[in-house]
Amino acid sequence: MPWNTISETQLVSENVLAQQDYAAYANLVLHNGFDSVPNLIANAIAQIRAAIGSNLKVYNQLGANGTVPDEARDATMRIVVWRMIACMPNAPDKNSKVAEAKAASEKAFLFLEELRKGTVFIVGATTFSTSQLNLPSAVQVVRCGTPPCYFERAGGGLV
Per-residue confidence in pLDDT tens, the chain, 159 aa? 688 999 989 988 988 888 888 888 888 887 877 788 899 999 999 999 998 888 755 667 788 999 998 888 999 999 998 888 877 776 556 677 778 888 888 999 998 888 888 777 776 544 444 454 554 455 555 554 433 344 444 444 443
Identify the pLDDT of residue 101. Answer: 85
* DSSP output for 73-100: HHHHHHHHHHHHHHT-TT-TTHHHHHHH
CA distances, 112 to each of 85, 88, 90 (Å): 20, 25, 30
Calculate the alpha carbon distances from 66 to 48, 62, 141 in Å.
Answer: 10, 10, 22
C-alpha span between 63 and 123 (Å, rounded)? 10
Whole-number pLDDT of residue 156: 44
Distance CA 14, CA 28 (A): 22
In one letter, which amino acid is 28? L
Nearest to 96 by CA among 24, 32, 104: 104
The predicted structure's pLDDT at residue 20: 86
